[in-house]
Chains A and B, each alone.
Chain A
């Protein structure tokens, strides 16, 4: 019914419109407005989509991209024969998985605490401060981490570890610390962002629930676990599924800048994005890097569609499409 009604409204006024000519006359200025954006999206988004065929070719610049020979799945065969394919897939999924869990738990906790604070001045102050890291570029973050971890001049090696009587640690060459370091840095930088989103949905909860609960003698703890968390659950589930849909994409800066592109750490810091970048820029290995890129694009696309399908099953209005 509703659809039918809206269709009637859309239909151009009878009489004048209807002919292609008058439609074109009326709407060409609007299409003119769209033109720059359309051209940009074709160049920046759609041409690269078709560019995925590069992964199925043996690129030879003398012949051009279209003239180069098709090699089918050869590039992918090479890629998946190497150990790298396993390492980058494992790292990408494990890191993002850990990030999603820690991020969600901590952001909800801080959002609830932030909501408890009575004085509005402090709420705003804390909110601004915990958003500060989110505002910084990864290059700046890598400087901050370097000031802490540098082998010869770092705060940890020169001040903290001697106090504890521990030998200096060569942070940028020891793999075992990096899963923890990257998780900490990622959370440090991003919690503020997610916390603000969850806070917005907590503020949206009807205060009557809390008033009723207080009258019935419910403690703060009970209120949090029986009112706040169940009521923000839809937003949390939505944000989490969205993140799971993007689990194949990583924060390139985090994995490239923060470990300072250190070779000995690659085993635990190489993710698909950094692998593609290194293959393309430093090694000039188009076959491998384009295959890894196509692998990411295609699996990533499937995951986005799947996660949206799940969101749609849970609540139609929250689905992207």
Chain B
């Protein structure tokens, strides 16, 4: 019996260590590539043990910090603004439909729910945002389309309100002369901090990682977020590598462009904040995932 148990422990550890390595190793390759010298990479390719170390990629980034710093600023801005507005709108929508006495409650709940079942797709949304609201090449393009509020989160927060805000509390507040809006931010919101923190975290990750809106609605490089800069640099590489006829001159061209190491260095700078912060929010991240699955 005990040997059976022990064997199981070994198998479990072995399998999970193997998978964990598979999860971490690509990042290691990214980091090691960014601290290799350009010559080593052009000759021996990206590797875990570069023949020659060099911080020149980071020097380059340091001296050209304006564009990268700007992109960082944009990313931080859309993450903060997007997450805050998103939390406000989600909770403000969720609270009324959590109230049993709200007239038309079922209609509005279905109004939210239906958006999860059916969507019009990209083409109409793109035309509405570009032709009707002329959002192209504005900061709004990075914040508003698709990301700002999601029906799933609204229903999640509504369920939380239903189960953890006692109606008697609100009634008592109303009798004491506290209006509905005041009751919402003085009583309901403080009670819902746990779910707000979880959803806020998931929204922040969504905004920090988003490249789709930038790629679709923004062509002005002044408005590029970190993800869009990375995306653009990938497009340049793709341009070089997908055409087989160009492979002879490709290495020369790569040497002139922001080099192979600089690309990797920018990617490192892009993931670093998340990697550094991850141990601290890891617990809430797991919670955010399981809360979504168990409705």
B161 at the interface (CB under 8 A from A): no
Q: Which of A84-92, A93-101, A115-123, A225-233 contacts B (4 or more CB under 8 A)?
A: A115-123
Decide: A51 and B128 in contact? CB cutoff 8 A: yes
A54-B124, A135-B205, A280-B123 known; A30 vs B95 contact (CB < 8 Å)? yes
Residues of chain B from 239 to 256 with CB closer than 8 A to chain A in the complex: 241-242, 244, 247, 250-251, 254
A37-B154, A54-B123 known; A147 vs B29 contact (CB < 8 Å)? yes
Residues on the B chain within 8 Å of A6, using CB: 100
Nearest CB in chain A: distance from B270 CB, A: 6
A30-B95, A147-B29, A200-B294 known; A158 vs B44 contact (CB < 8 Å)? yes
Give the nearest-CB partner of A220 in chain B: B8
A136 at the interface (CB under 8 A from B): yes
Residues on the B chain within 8 Å of A191, using CB: 19
Decide: B122 and A159 in contact? CB cutoff 8 A: no
A137 at the interface (CB under 8 A from B): yes
Query: Which of the four size classes fits the interface of chain A?
Result: 35 or more
- The 8 Å CB contact of A122, one of B13, B24, B45, B113, is B13
Nearest CB in chain B: distance from A170 CB, A: 7
A140-B271, A153-B260, A296-B121 known; A47 vs B93 contact (CB < 8 Å)? no
Decide: B26 and A148 in contact? CB cutoff 8 A: yes
Give the nearest-CB partner of A204 in chain B: B294
Decide: B8 and A137 in contact? CB cutoff 8 A: no
Nearest CB in chain B: distance from A246 CB, A: 11
CA distance A225 to B96 in the complex (A): 46
Decide: A280 and B46 in contact? CB cutoff 8 A: no
A1 at the interface (CB under 8 A from B): no
Residues on the B chain within 8 Å of A144, using CB: 26-27, 29-30
CA distance A38 to B212 in the complex (A): 24
Nearest CB in chain B: distance from A24 CB, A: 9
Task: Please list the residues of chain B having a beta carbon within 8 angstroms of any beta carbon in chain A.
Answer: 1, 4-5, 7-9, 11-13, 15-16, 19-20, 22-24, 26-27, 29-30, 33, 41-42, 44-48, 88-90, 92-93, 95-97, 99-103, 108, 111-113, 115-128, 131, 133, 144-146, 148-149, 151, 154, 179-181, 184, 205, 208-212, 216, 227, 230-231, 234-235, 237-238, 241-242, 244, 247, 250-251, 254, 260, 263-264, 267, 270-271, 274, 278-279, 282, 285-286, 289-290, 293-294
Q: Given A128-B278, A144-B29, A262-B238, 20 other A-B contacts at CB below 8 A?
A: A27-B103, A34-B97, A40-B148, A44-B144, A50-B120, A110-B16, A131-B282, A137-B210, A143-B234, A153-B45, A154-B45, A155-B45, A158-B47, A172-B242, A173-B242, A192-B23, A220-B5, A257-B211, A260-B237, A260-B242
Between A and B, 27 residue pairs with Cβ closer than 8 Å are: A10-B100, A31-B96, A34-B97, A37-B93, A41-B151, A45-B151, A50-B124, A51-B127, A54-B124, A117-B16, A122-B13, A127-B286, A128-B282, A132-B27, A139-B211, A140-B267, A142-B234, A145-B26, A152-B241, A152-B251, A220-B5, A257-B231, A260-B237, A280-B122, A289-B123, A293-B121, A297-B120
